């Protein structure tokens, strides 16, 4: 069992504990981890013009995106809190922005129901046309997108769509391999947000593909085309073609409690000795942390999982910064180990996370006290085939 010394500087922490578990050398993202940085980002949030500017790509000064996603992904900002915060903005911008928050909630909801089945196609099987394969080497658009992802840990929604479309329809790689590359570098990378994005682009959710071509680049980032050596010989002049799109059914287990966790606090005769937190919910307002302010905290980096994920150091540094800030307020121990080893035979409290890993761990080691997950929308006990069908049934929690 390795306990991580949070008093070391970030570079030494990466070198001492994570060197063999990461895919790059020490690299900080453009995001600082910690509740105070999340709060500051929310306080500075200005979504004026969001509806018109959301899809802008380059130059980056023209973007309308909020850059809140890493804080939302790790629970430093709840969707509800962000939802309430934008009340004061114009209807057009507020409703567009809130719609995107609902997409985030939808991705979590879907993941709660289908879990790891999101590695399969969802409602449609898609067959590619092998004649569409294009070498990306000289393409300024793809090169610039990859460079931004690797150097900052961030992509706007548009470039995520462009990149995934290109990789799915115009490369020889399996889509999961390309999805994994993005996931490793995105500071907001989650299997729910990322895979739903890829499914949407591939058409496996909706039955309609999102094609990427020169047209989008010229519209949203013309400089990339103007400076590209392939400008007059562009290999993506048109949309890619697919061979076939056919209906399929997913086999789903609809058990509300199993999928979404408890609706009220679960207690037992014992009192917890500490709070176990994980990457899904690291904010001061995490229900277990907030309700049990005097208990020490434990966080475990899952060594085996990290070895297989091979994340960028940017992602680890962001998490370390969050944990360091927590350590200034409360007693916390951080381990690099197997969470089951650390939690076995211990009395702990935790907040339910509707993700397969949390479900697997707590099946083996049961929390003494468990808090319901925070959410924006009441769980719905149906498999939603589309965002719009889910949206119609969605009740925002007041």
Ligand X SMILES: Cc1cc2nc3c(=O)[nH]c(=O)nc-3n(C[C@H](O)[C@H](O)[C@H](O)COP(=O)(O)OP(=O)(O)OC[C@H]3O[C@@H](n4cnc5c(N)ncnc54)[C@H](O)[C@@H]3O)c2cc1C
Binding positions for ligand X, rule: CB under 6 A: 54, 65-69, 72-73, 100-101, 103-104, 107, 156-157, 160-161, 164, 186, 188-190, 193-194, 197-198, 201
Would you call 352 exposed, middle or buried from its count of C-beta atoms within 10 A (0-12, 13-18, 19+)? Answer: buried
Smallest distance, ligand X to C-beta of residue 30, A: 11
Q: Which residue is nearest to ligand X (CB)?
A: 197
CB nearer ligand X, residue 184 or residue 295: 184
Burial profile 84-107: b = 16 or more Cβ within 10 angstroms, e = fewer: ebbeebeeebbebbbebbbbbbbb
User: Is-contact 101 229, C-beta < 8 A?
Assistant: no
Smallest distance, ligand X to C-beta of residue 392, A: 18
For 200, the 3-state DSSP assignment is: helix
CB nearer ligand X, residue 157 or residue 213: 157
CB nearer ligand X, residue 73 or residue 214: 73
C-alpha neighbours within 13 Å on the C-beta side of residue 288: 31
For 369, the 3-state DSSP assignment is: strand
What tokens were used for 81?
């809190």
For 253, the 3-state DSSP assignment is: coil
- Per DSSP, 309 falls in state H
Q: Nearest-CA neighbor of 182 among 156, 214, 220?
A: 156
Smallest distance, ligand X to C-beta of residue 107, A: 5
User: Residue 246 forms beta bridges with which residues?
Assistant: 125
Smallest distance, ligand X to C-beta of residue 64, A: 7
CB nearer ligand X, residue 190 or residue 206: 190
Smallest distance, ligand X to C-beta of residue 332, A: 25
Smallest distance, ligand X to C-beta of residue 44, A: 13
CB nearer ligand X, residue 82 or residue 288: 82
CB nearer ligand X, residue 97 or residue 352: 97
């Amino acid at each position: 069992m390795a306990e991580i010394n949070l008093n070391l500087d970030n570079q030494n922490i990466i070198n001492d504990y994570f060197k063999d578990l990461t895919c790059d050398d020490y690299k900080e993202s453009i995001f600082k981890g910690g509740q105070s940085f999340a709060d500051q980002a929310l306080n500075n949030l200005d979504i004026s013009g969001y509806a018109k500017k959301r899809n802008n790509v380059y130059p980056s000064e023209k973007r309308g995106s909020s850059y809140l996603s890493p804080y939302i992904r790790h629970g430093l900002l709840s969707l509800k809190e962000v939802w309430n915060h934008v009340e004061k903005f114009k209807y057009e911008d507020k409703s567009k922005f809130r719609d995107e928050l609902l997409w985030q909630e939808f991705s979590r909801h879907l993941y709660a129901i289908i879990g790891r089945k999101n590695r399969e196609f969802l409602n449609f099987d898609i067959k590619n046309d092998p004649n569409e394969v294009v070498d990306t080497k000289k393409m300024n658009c793809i090169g610039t997108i990859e460079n931004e992802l690797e150097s900052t840990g961030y992509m706007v929604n548009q470039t995520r769509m462009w990149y995934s479309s290109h990789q799915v329809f115009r490369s020889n790689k399996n889509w999961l391999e390309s999805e994994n590359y993005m996931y490793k570098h995105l500071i907001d990378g989650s299997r729910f947000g990322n895979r739903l994005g890829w499914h949407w682009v591939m058409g496996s959710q909706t039955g309609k593909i999102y094609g990427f071509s020169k047209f989008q680049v010229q519209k949203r980032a013309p400089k990339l085309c103007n400076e590209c050596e392939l400008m007059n010989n562009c290999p993506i002049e048109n949309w890619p073609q697919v061979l076939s799109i056919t209906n399929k059914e997913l086999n789903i287990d609809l058990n509300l409690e199993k999928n979404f966790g408890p609706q009220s606090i679960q207690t037992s005769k014992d009192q917890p000795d500490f709070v176990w937190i994980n990457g899904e919910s690291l904010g001061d307002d995490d229900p277990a942390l907030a309700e049990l302010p005097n208990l020490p905290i434990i966080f475990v980096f899952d060594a085996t999982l990290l070895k297989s994920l091979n994340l960028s150091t940017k992602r680890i540094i962001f998490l370390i910064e969050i944990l360091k800030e927590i350590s200034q307020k409360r007693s916390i121990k951080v381990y690099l180990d197997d969470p089951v080893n650390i939690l076995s035979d211990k009395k702990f409290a935790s907040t339910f996370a509707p993700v397969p890993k949390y479900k697997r761990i707590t099946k083996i080691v049961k929390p003494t006290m468990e808090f319901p997950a925070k959410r924006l929308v009441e769980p719905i006990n149906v498999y939603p085939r589309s965002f719009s069908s889910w949206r119609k049934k969605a009740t925002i929690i007041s």
